Structure formats: structure tokens, C-alpha cells
Amino acid sequence: MEVRFEMVKPRILVMRVAGTNCDRETEWAFRLAGGLPQRVHINRIKRGEVKMRDYQVLVIPGGFSYGDDISAGKVFANEIRHNIGNDINLFIEEGKPVIGICNGFQVLVKAGILPYPGRQSVTLGWNGSARFEDRWVHLKIEESVSPFFRGFPPVIKLPVAHAEGNLITENEDVLKKIENDRLVIFRYCAPDGTLKGYPYNPNGSTANIAGLASASGLVVGMMPHPERALFRCFYPDWHRDEKNGDVFGYGYMFFKNVVNFFR
Amino acid sequence: MSAIAFMVNSVHINNMEKEKLFLIEVRNKTRVTDVFGYMIKKDIMETGIQEIEEVLTSSLYRLKGVCCHRELIRIAEEILIDAVAQDYFLDNSGIRKRGAGYNVIDVFYKEGVTDTVAETVMTAVKDAGIKNLFSASTGKRYYLKGRLNRQDIETICMKVLVNPLIQNYSVVKDNNA
């Protein structure tokens, strides 16, 4: 008799609130990568209708939660802290990945979850250009603690779309600690991988930081949108790219790495 | 923060009293660039007023309720500011802290105009378990530095800072006075 083993499909909680607008794409990306995603409004978790313990991955997708009122991600961050903070802490303690994309990254830092849990030590302020920056950027992949960015080439391209992505650390010591702990997952760069200012760094972010991980590497936040770069044909220059024979984009690689973490 | 000593109508710590009006000003720490101030300065110069030297901006929150001092500080620190990049000031202590040489303009919505940010503030305050706040309204404060006469200030307000259909402005500090 032939015995077949089913691949484990992680259950992925895509948490949304009023103003979240990248939840469907993120859900679709995880499904494409082999996960079992489900979009859930935070109120269902607050009411106890949905239990976080039933999921293996938590994702806070991009968007404009609560209209970015007060500051981007601030109200959502407080809602998490006041209502489901213990659930998220337990989730992280159990070694389950937590991913924040764009607005989700803003939420994670303002809730004091990233990069160091307990209190807020970095923030994402207004872009230096005082404009919403919506375009493709080059990113230099760093040798970070996160397992989700292994196997990537040294420089990749992903789209950004944000007004508040300027990473500011509380002080120089926090920045040094982030660097020493290898928490930077990627940085904005020029096409050749050198770190340069605007327009390569779209928001004036300190040390060109575009994404951070926790010390375990399993909590990650990033300003670029991997869910908008699933296929090569999504890239504006894919006709000119020598590799245009490849079907998948670098965004797909990220989602696949998260799903493969459970295999 | 030393500025917490200032408050509209002198509410005493932990002492619930009748409904009062509070003002909280939120602005960037000095080490964080005020990108909006920079953009507004450019807009002002385009109106022909070249005397403008510097523009700095703040967010204002007018709160009405019977909050005690501790609750007011919680609202400011947990909800309204980003502690890494921003400071807050109660009442008009922020103006004194900014130093001399600035004209100060406050802009608020007219009564009856929907203030969506204020509605979000109320939601966030309730979410934090604070029940003694009854209403909120939001505005902007502009600090203008330069050799500006009254006509210049009025021009700046009407052409750059204010939409007179939905907003009112008041000159809180006038260097010509």
C-alpha cells in the first residue's frame, strides 16, 4: 500500500480593522505559497469568536488603519495593546511568526512589539519628501537573524506605497544595538546595492532601513509590499529582465519561505 | 515632562471636577525634521512673502470632559504622541517653550464640520478605558518666524493655512502686538 504524507499547511491569521486594504492580496499570496490563510477582523478576536492559538502565523497587512488618524498605525497599535496584547505575547513566546507589512510594520513598532518587545524604541515617521511615495525600490538583503529572507539575491526589487516610512530610532544606542543584533532584514539602495539617499531611500529612513526583525527573527516588519510582487510579470521592467523566464517574483519567495518554515 | 504642570483651568491631580476644556499640543522633538513646516514655508514664499524664515507645525487636540490629571496625561502619552519622535504640551506651555520670535496661528474646524480625526481620538480614548472624556476636536498650530506684518500674516492664513469655508483661525501670538 502506498503511504502518502500530506504537507503541513500552516494556518495564517490575516488580521484586519477599519482601513486595512491589503488583506485580500496578502491572503491570496499565502494561499498561493501553500498556506491556509484566513482574514479575520480584530473584533472577532476581541469577542472570543476566533482564537489566536488556532493559528501558526499572524499577519498584519498593509492599509490605512483608522484612516492613519493621529499617526499611521497608532490607533490599531493601542487597540492591540489594550485588548489582545497578552495573546500576541503568548503567540510570539511560542515561536510563531508575526509579520507586519507596511501599515502592519507601523503597528508592530508602535505597539512596542518590534524590534524589542516591551516598549517602543523606534518609530516610522513622515517621509522626508512630505509626500506619499508609491513606486518600486531596490533593496539590499542583509544577513539578518530572520529565516524568511534566506536564498534571496543580494539586491531585489519590491514596491513601496507609504507616507510614513521614515524609520527613526529613539537614540544612537538603539540603532547600534539593532545593527549589532543583526535585526535589519533589508535596506533601501541603488540598483548596484550601494546605500544612497533620496530617491533610492524613498523616505529618509535612518541607515536606509526598510525592514526589521525581532531577536528571534520570527517577528518581522517591512515597509515594502511583497504581496504586490508575486510574479515576474508584476515588475515594470520584466520584459527587459534577462530572467523573465522566471514565473515568480521576490514577494512570492518571501511568502514561500514563511510557509516552508513549518515543513 | 515639566510641561505637564500647565493645564487649562487648573484641574487638580486625581480630583474629578465639573466639565472642563483641555488643550494638548503635539509636535516633533527638535531632532526630528518638521517636513510639513518646510513644505508650508515653500508655499508661503510662492505667495510673494519672502520675509518668512521658518515655519514649524504642531497638532492640537481640544478635549472636553471631567478627566483627572492622570487620565489627561495617559491620553497624551498613550494615544496622541509617538514617544520616539514627539513631545506634548498642555495648555499653551508649548508656545513659551518654543521661545521668542514666532507668530503663532491656531486653525480649527468650524462648528458643525465633521472632524474625523477627533472621532478616532474618542474611539481610542474609550478603547483605553477612559470614560470621562465627552468630546474632542482637532486643529493645527503654526509657528511663523520672520519679519511679518499683520497684512502678511492675514495673507498667509487666507492663502496657505486656512480653508475659510470650513476652518477658523486665531492669531494666538502676534509679534506686531
pLDDT digits (tens, 9 = 90+) for B21-69: 999 999 999 999 999 999 999 999 999 999 999 999 999 999 999 988 8
**Residues of chain B that touch chain A, judged by Cβ-Cβ distance less than 8 Å:** 28, 32-33, 35-36, 38-39, 78-80, 82-85, 116-117, 120-121, 123-124, 127-129
Going from N- to C-terminal start, the domains of chain B cover 2-173
> What torsion do the CA atoms of B65, B66, B70, B75 make, to the nearest 10 degrees?
-10
For residue B28 the three cell numbers come to 516633533
Q: What is the ipTM of this complex?
A: 0.86
Short-list A24, A27, A25, CA closest to A37: A27
- Residue A102 bears catalytic tag: yes
The answer to whether residue A78 neighbours chain B at the CB level (below 8 Å) is yes
What's residue A108's pLDDT?
98
Architecture of domain A11-260: 3-Layer(aba) Sandwich (3.40)
pLDDT digits (tens, 9 = 90+) for A86-130: 999 999 999 999 999 999 999 999 999 999 999 999 999 999 999
In this prediction the pTM is: 0.91
Provide the percentage of residues in chain B whose pLDDT is more than 90: 77
Q: What is chain B's pLDDT, residue by residue, as a tens digit (177 residues)?
A: 344 444 444 444 444 467 899 999 999 999 999 999 999 999 999 999 999 999 999 999 999 999 888 999 999 999 999 999 999 999 989 999 988 899 999 999 999 999 999 999 999 999 889 988 999 999 999 999 999 999 999 999 999 999 999 999 999 998 877
For A118-123, which contacts have Cβ atoms below 8 Å and span 24 or more sequence positions? A120/A170, A120/B82, A120/B83, A120/B84, A121/A169, A121/A170, A121/A174, A121/B84, A122/A167, A122/A168, A122/A169, A122/A170, A122/A174, A122/A178, A122/A212, A122/B84, A123/A167, A123/A168, A123/B82, A123/B84, A123/B85
Q: Tell me which residues of chain A have a pLDDT lower than 50.
A: none
* Cα–Cα distance measured from residue A259 to residue A194, given in angstroms and rounded to the nearest whole number: 31
3-state SS class at A247: coil
- Residue A227 bears catalytic tag: yes
- Please, are residues A182 and A216 in contact by the beta-carbon 8 Å criterion? no
Taking residue A56's Cβ as centre, other Cβ atoms within 10 Å add up to 22
- Given CATH 3.30.1280.10, say whether it is the number of domain B2-173: yes
Inter-helix orientation angle A74-83/A85-93, to 10°:
80
> What torsion do the CA atoms of B102, B76, B123, A128 make, to the nearest 10 degrees?
50
What's residue A220's pLDDT?
98
What's residue B6's pLDDT?
42
Residues of A in contact with B121 (CB under 8 A): 69-70
CB within 8 Å: B84 and A71:
no
Report CA Rg, chain A: 18
- Residue A225 bears catalytic tag: yes
Residues of B in contact with A110 (CB under 8 A): 82
What's residue B17's pLDDT?
60
- Please, are residues B105 and B172 in contact by the beta-carbon 8 Å criterion? yes
What's residue B13's pLDDT?
42
* Cα–Cα distance measured from residue B170 to residue B106, given in angstroms and rounded to the nearest whole number: 5
Going from N- to C-terminal start, the domains of chain A cover 11-260
